[in-house]
Amino acid sequence: MVCHVCGSPVEGAFCSRCGTPVLPPPPPPMVGVPQPIPMMVEPRVQRHVHTLGILWLAYGAYRAASGILATLILMGIALPGFFGGFGSMHTFPFTPFAPLMTSVASLIVVLTSIGAVLDFVIAYSLLTRKPWGRILAIVISVLALIRIPFGTALGIYTLWVLAPAASGAEYDAIADHS
C-alpha cells in the first residue's frame, strides 16, 4: 500500500513517515453480481423550499386582494355614494347600519393586512433562506389550516416539508446565517 498523503510505502495501519492512518483498499467487486448504482439524492427541503416561498407570496397577494375587495363591498353597502350612488335612490336600505359596516370593514382591513404581511414575510424568509423562516412558516401554517381550501392546502404542504425533525437539520444546512 502507498500513503495517500505523502506517497511513501506503508506496511501497517499508519504511515511511518507522516503518521496518517491508511485505510485498506476496498474489496474487489464480485464477478457476476450486479453492483448497486449510488443514487444522488437532493434533500426534500432544498427541493421544496423555493416552491413554498412562491406559494406563500401568491397566498399573501390573494389574501390582500380578497381583503380589499371585501372592504370595498362592505363600504359600498354601508355608504350610498361610495360606488357612485346606485342610481337615483336617496335612501339606501343599509344606511342605518353604516357605522357598524364601516367598523367591520376597518377590522377586515386590519386583519387581512396583518395576515398578508405575515404571508409576505414568510415568503421572503423562505426565498432568502433566513434561519428563523422555518419556525415562522410552521407557526403560521398551523394557523392557516382553518382557512379552507387554499390555506389548508398550503398549511399541509408547509408542514409536510418543514415540520419533521430531519427537515430542521436540512433547513439549517441551507439557511443563510450571514
Alpha-carbon distances of 137 from 11, 84, 144, rounded to whole Å: 56, 42, 10
Domain boundaries in the chain? 44-173
| Residue-level pLDDT at 90 | 53
Least confident of 1-5, 49-53, 68-72: 1-5
9 — pLDDT class (breaks 50, 70, 90) = confident
pLDDT attached to residue 21 = 77
Q: What sign for the dihedral angle of Cα 80, 86, 92, 97?
A: negative
Q: What is the pLDDT of residues 134-170, one digit of tens each?
A: 999 999 999 999 999 999 999 999 999 999 988 998 9
Give SS3 for 131: coil
Asked if pLDDT for residue 60 goes beyond 80, the answer is: yes
The string of pLDDT tens digits covering residues 19-55 is: 777 777 677 767 776 767 776 666 789 889 999 999 9
